Structure 1
Amino acid sequence: MRVPKGLRANIRGKRLDTAVARIIGAVQGIVPAVFPWADKIDVESNWSYVWWEQPETITLPTTDENTVTEPATAAEEAALVDGVDTAS
């Protein structure tokens, strides 16, 4: 389960525990009918919380190699797909 970042909601451990228990119970109830070969269900539970996150985008200097100056021709596109560098 994922709660959207920035959502102002009262999410407590007990609510999460209850939700997980209900999901496990639902799966346990349908497994014998839909997958009768199973002899057990493995459940992995963990709490993931981002304490601090600071994404950053660094713009690199413009060069001939990283700048689109004009639309590619069909031949240039075909060369890229075939792995041939026609610019050299």
Structure 2
Amino acid sequence: MSSTLDQRLIELFQHPRIQGCNWQPRLFWHPAADGSAFGPLRVDGRELEVFLATIIGEPSTEQAALDQEQEGRGRFIAANARRHELPLFTRR
């Protein structure tokens, strides 16, 4: 995963709408070696980007690629987000 996507995921996660869900970072990230909350991802970063962006109401930068590579996976995750359902993400 690129550092650009890493940074985008952290920014999306820190958005007030996401923070209002009361999810802890450890749901999506392993703790970093230095003890910070945002270490290596537990889940596919592209799927998480689609999910978080949809909740916030921003266009996803990853949905089109997921849809093409995995036959609609991006649309499926976005639909889960719109229904306020936490999808089963692909583990890393």
TM-score, shorter chain, exceeding 0.5: no
More helix by share: 2
Q: 1 or 2 for the larger relative contact order (CA 8 Å, sep ≥6)?
A: 2
Which of the two has higher C-alpha Rg? 1
TM-score for both structures, normalised by structure 2: 0.23
TM-score for both structures, normalised by structure 1: 0.24
